[in-house]
Structure 1
Amino acid sequence: MQLQGDFHVHTNFCPHGASDNMEAYVQAAIKQGLEYITFTEHAPLPKGFIDPTPEQDSAMSWEDVEVYLHEATRLKEKYEDLITINAGFELDYIEGFEKELTAFIDSIGETAYYSILSIHMLKAPNGEYVCIDYSADEFKRITELFGSVDAVYQTYYLTMEKLLNTDFGNYRPDRIGHLTLIEKFSKLYTAKQAYTTEIINLLETIQAKGFELDANTAGFFKPYCGTCYPNATILQKAYQMNIPLVFGSDSHQAKDIARGSELLPDIETSLPRSIRQLI
């Protein structure tokens, strides 16, 4: 597989990432011979929503949004002869905050085309919001809050279904991030069910609504996961369904740009639709 670019990349504006500046990521991408890099920093969480992580470090601050986009533009111009640079956001779908997310998407306009829709937060039965990928200890607490590992998985896939069926307006992002992120701690906390039917149903909706899928290699490097998001079997199924698969390292430090691309199954990844429209 000839890797053309990395389209899921974080930056120093991420509170839980490295301090590497955006230019370091660009230089790493150029060194690896990539033609494209798309920054997808965690968008600020909705005003009025309290970050449930212990460190409250899930997303960039509202104050940094313009600085981030301005820096991306500066780098785009500086390196235009060497690599194509774009910037969007990783947008958190949070049940109950759909209007706030849609309003943010409207506010960034065409920048949303370079963005990713993901789920990190779930609403628990008691109304509390939780972050499913923060830590193994926190995931254990979440399973106790929900009553079982399977109850967490069921809620995750139901929430993903809600995401796919939400109307995000004229600037809806096309890509769905790490479809099976819920499996990050699966070697420690294993679901009794495989959720194959639920995932196939999600793929059918993704196909019908014209979404792309993040072929995300970060899970290969998570000690309690060890596979990509989604796994090879699901990626193969999506590929057979002609769902575009877009490579993303989900890197949070410059040295991880393009990491794990050689570990993906034998499938072709696509350029994002936003990029294909430019060439």
Structure 2
Amino acid sequence: MKDGHIHTPFCPHGTQDPIEAYVEKALLLGFQEISFTEHAPLPAGFIDPTPERDSSMDIKQLEDYFGKINKVKSVYSGKIKINTGLEVDFIEGFEEETKKFLDQYGKYLDDAILSVHFLKFGNRYDCLDYSPDVFGQMAEAYGNIDEVYQAYFKTLLQSIYYDLGPYKPKRIGHMTLVKKFHKKYPVKNAFVNEIMEILKAIKVKGYEIDYNGAGFSKPLCKEAYPPDWVAEKAEELKIPLIYGSDAHQVKELGQGLSMMPLWKRNR
């Protein structure tokens, strides 16, 4: 059992639960391997559009972050495999800055996730999963909800194909994050063609999918990222599905597992 997507007290929009507490809880849950994948510092020149500007850790914290993970690796050696990781944002227009960051810090990583949280619309950026209100404002600006979905899947596809260098993360994070508020902003379109194109691109690249359980805890989502039908298509294509709790506090470790029939069936 592996949890490949765990945050830490270095996340400014998370909690201050100590890293050791995450490890102890993972052991209680029976995990043999975990990856700490804190939000990587945003690329140079990018201004966080969230009101609190708390989407990621500051680059000045990286050395301390790596040091803390290395310390728990030593303490828990032989008990559980602990990976040093990051969740790296793919942001349209800042690809080369992200590549430069990975060229410098990728050598320190055992594991990593590539995610899309920010969408470019004209000269502005929006954090699509920040809140229902922000998502609604995006839908109004884009013209309708379907256009937001189209922009998200287009950017996700770009993230898969863009050459971010030898340290580019090989796991695509919560690939249907755009559905976080779908119970408030429903769409009739299942975007089957767009999702299948993304799955085929992941297959061609030899990447993995973050089989993310956090959506179950979101009141306007209540499903995995990706949902069952997408996970089943990924399995048919023999794309590795790596469970991720996306925990931002200790109590969230293991979230969604009991609701993931595909994950349970394969165990």
Q: CA deviation at 1:55?
A: 1.1
Cα distance, 1:191 vs structure 2: 2.3
In 1, Cα distance between equivalents of 2:54 and 2:94: 19
Would the aligned equivalents of 1:177 and 1:213 in 2 still touch at CA under 8 Å?
A: yes
- 1:114 maps to what in 2? 111
1:209-264 Cα distance to aligned partner (Å, 9 max, x none) = 10100000000111111100000000001001000000000000011112221211
What is the RMSD of the two structures over their aligned residues, measured on CA atoms? Answer: 1.3
Deviation sequence 1:89-115 (CA, Å, 0-9, x none): 000000000001111111123344500
1:92 and 2:103 are equivalent in the alignment:
no
Equivalences for residues 1-279 of structure 1 within 5 A: 4-124=1-121, 126-267=122-263
What is the count of residue pairs matched by the alignment? 266
| Structure 1: unaligned runs, 5 residues or longer | 271-279
Paired-residue identity, %: 46
Is the CA contact 1:153–1:191 (under 8 Å) kept in the aligned structure 2?
Answer: no
Q: Distance in 1 between matches of 2:145 and 2:109?
A: 33
What is the deviation of 1:269?
9.1
Q: Distance in 1 between matches of 2:211 and 2:60?
A: 30
Secondary structure of residue in 1 paired with 2:180: helix
Q: Are 2:84 and 2:110, in contact at CA under 8 Å, matched by a contact in 1?
A: no
Contact 1:105–1:112 (8 Å) recurs in 2 = no
Q: Give the 3 Å change call, closer, same or farther, for CA 115–258 of structure 1 in structure 2.
A: same
SS, match of residue 116 in structure 1: strand
8 Å Cα contact 2:2-2:242 kept in structure 1: no
1:59-107 CA-partner distances (Å, limit 9, x unpaired): 0111111101100000000110211111110000000000011111111
TM-score normalized with structure 2 length:
0.96
Displaced runs of 4+ in structure 1, greater than 2 A?
Answer: 109-113, 265-270
Name the residue aligned to 1:277.
none
Letter in 1 for 2:235: Y
1:246 touches 1:269 (CA, 8 Å); kept in 2? no
Quick one: distance in 2 between partners of 1:236 and 1:6?
A: 19
| CA spacing shift, 1:245–1:122, aligned 2, 3 Å | same
Q: Give the whole-Å Cα distance in 2 for the aligned partners of 1:172 and 1:198.
A: 23
TM-score with structure 1 setting the length: 0.92
Distance 1:67 1:32, change over 3 A: same
